[in-house]
């Protein structure tokens, strides 16, 4: 037998049989005392299953190639006993990789074209003061109108935009458009204190250029940064190293941050502990049932107390019924948002709120 290699500390000792399930053998001899960490096939299998579909496709192409090469080798060594197919049954499985990878790549191409062809637009949903019912600001919500897919909801494409980094150019467009639009509303309504809430994904905050972009829009529109609230989720802690730095630098410039979907993540308290934000948005799964379900009631009450003692603004999302608004008002929750007050809609239609209601 021949010597394959001599390994040093930290080197991986790999045997293809772990992946393709075919019989092969090699012998390892320790030249000095060493500690082995075994990676077994199940561990690899689990990791492949959670991979991005495009990466799964690439791995499956590689594995198929390796398997085919092996088949030729074992045919040449005829008489080895076991049938090849029996062996490869135990190989790592690559589930549905082709279809979902294809769909994802197509969606990415369409998104890229969507940017060029300006298929995106922003809708705005009012955020009201629950004590007075007056509108205090708007949340910008992204919409994509694709020529053949139709109106694609953000849940269907934001993830793909993040994975492909297309969220960076889309995010820059959102920033400029939303701030342009709130300035327009200031002018039309003479309410110069209306704020704008903008959703920012952690992938955007991990871009070294993000802070520059925030400086740029501030100059371009001479907006008071206090009126711009950037909504982030707990995912800021699962992204790269510069996210927290971006947040801190923006806060120093005066931009406000809201912790979105509060209560739905696995580490809400840790997030509050490690991140300085200005506001919390209670997720609508709790708000929705707050008057009917004792558990939701307890959770919303606890979050309200928490926000008050941490001196944070509180926004309740997804208010659909007057009874919910009344309940939250009684609890002392400051701001509310939901279909009861208004659905997300194009900018021009937002003017109608100010004609019929008394805004302050």
Q: Smaller CB distance to ligand C2E: residue 45 or 177?
A: 177
Q: Smaller CB distance to ligand C2E: residue 175 or 312?
A: 175
Sequence-distant (6+) residues with CB within 8 A of 208 are 242
Closest C-alpha to 315, from 301, 333, 340? 333
Closest C-alpha to 143, from 352, 294, 344? 344
Contact pattern from residue 186 through residue 225 relative to ligand C2E, giving x for each residue in contact according to CB under 6 A and a dash for the rest: -------------x-x------------------------
Question: In sequence order, what are the beta bridge partners of 150?
Answer: 146
Does 199 bind Ca ion (CB under 5 A)? Our answer is yes
CB 185 within 8 A of CB 194: yes
Site for ligand C2E, residues 96 to 135, rule: CB under 6 A: 125
Structure tokens at 228: 């711009």
The only residue of 204, 261, 263, 331 in contact with Ca ion, by rule CB under 5 A: 261
Q: Mark the segment that binds Ca ion (CB under 5 A) among 195-203, 210-218, 246-254, 344-352.
A: 195-203
The only residue of 231, 255, 337, 341 in contact with Ca ion, by rule CB under 5 A: 231
Does 339 bind ligand C2E (CB under 6 A)? Our answer is yes
Does 142 bind ligand C2E (CB under 6 A)? Our answer is yes
CB 170 within 8 A of CB 121: no
The only residue of 128, 141, 272, 316 in contact with ligand C2E, by rule CB under 6 A: 141
Does 344 bind ligand C2E (CB under 6 A)? Our answer is yes
Site for ligand C2E, residues 253 to 282, rule: CB under 6 A: 260-261
Q: By three-state DSSP, how is residue 151 classified?
A: strand
Shortest reach from residue 198's CB to ligand C2E, in Å: 7
- DSSP state at residue 93: P
3-state helix, strand, coil in the chain (%, to 5): 50, 15, 35
Residue 249 burial (CB count, 10 A): 15
Shortest reach from residue 2's CB to ligand C2E, in Å: 55
Closest C-alpha to 203, from 163, 230, 260, 172? 163
Q: Work out the angle at residue 134's Cα, subtended by the Cα atoms of residues 128 and 140, and round it to the nearest 5 degrees.
A: 40
Contact pattern from residue 283 through residue 302 relative to ligand C2E, giving x for each residue in contact according to CB under 6 A and a dash for the rest: -x------------------
Contact pattern from residue 155 through residue 184 relative to ligand C2E, giving x for each residue in contact according to CB under 6 A and a dash for the rest: x--x---------------x----------
Give CA–CA dist 341/320, Å, rounded.
8
Shortest reach from residue 115's CB to Ca ion, in Å: 21
Is the alpha carbon torsion for 312, 317, 322, 328 positive or negative?
A: negative
Tracing tokens 């406000």 back to the chain, one arrives at 256
Interface residues with Ca ion (CB under 5 A)?
Answer: 199, 231, 260-261
Interface residues with ligand C2E (CB under 6 A)?
Answer: 125, 140-142, 153-155, 158, 174, 199, 201, 231, 260-261, 284, 317-320, 337-339, 344
């Amino acid at each position: 037998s021949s010597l394959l290699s001599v390994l040093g500390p930290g080197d991986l000792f790999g045997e293809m049989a772990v992946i393709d399930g075919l019989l092969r053998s090699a012998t390892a001899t320790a030249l000095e005392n060493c500690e082995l960490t075994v990676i077994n096939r199940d561990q690899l299998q689990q990791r492949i299953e959670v991979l991005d579909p495009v990466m799964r496709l690439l791995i499956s192409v590689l594995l198929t190639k390796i398997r085919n090469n092996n088949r030729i080798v074992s045919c040449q060594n005829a008489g080895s006993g076991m049938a090849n197919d029996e062996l490869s049954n135990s190989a790592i499985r690559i589930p549905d990789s082709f279809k979902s990878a294809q769909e994802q790549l197509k969606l990415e191409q369409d998104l890229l074209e969507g940017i060029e062809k300006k298929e995106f637009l922003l809708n705005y949903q009012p955020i009201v003061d629950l004590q007075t019912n007056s509108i205090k600001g708007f949340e910008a919500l992204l919409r994509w109108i694709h020529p053949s897919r139709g109106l694609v909801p953000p849940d269907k494409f934001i993830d793909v935009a993040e994975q492909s980094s297309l969220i960076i150019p889309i995010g820059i467009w959102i920033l400029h458009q939303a701030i342009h639009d709130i300035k327009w509303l200031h002018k039309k309504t003479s309410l110069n204190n209306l704020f704008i809430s903008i959703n920012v994904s952690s992938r955007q905050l991990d871009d070294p250029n993000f802070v520059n972009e925030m400086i740029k829009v501030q100059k371009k529109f001479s907006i008071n940064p206090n009126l711009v609230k950037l909504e982030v989720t707990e995912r800021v802690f699962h992204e790269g190293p510069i996210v927290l730095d971006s947040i801190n630098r923006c806060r120093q410039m005066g931009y406000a941050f809201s912790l979105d979907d509060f209560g739905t993540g696995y580490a809400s308290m840790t997030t509050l502990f490690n991140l300085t934000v200005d506001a919390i948005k209670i997720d609508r799964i709790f708000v929705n049932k707050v008057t009917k379900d004792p558990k939701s009631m307890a959770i919303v009450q606890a979050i309200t107390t928490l926000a008050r003692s941490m001196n944070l603004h509180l926004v309740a999302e997804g208010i659909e019924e007057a009874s919910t608004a009344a309940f939250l008002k009684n609890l002392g929750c400051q701001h509310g948002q939901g279909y009861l007050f208004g659905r997300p809609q194009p900018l021009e239609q937002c003017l109608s709120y100010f004609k019929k209601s008394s805004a302050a």
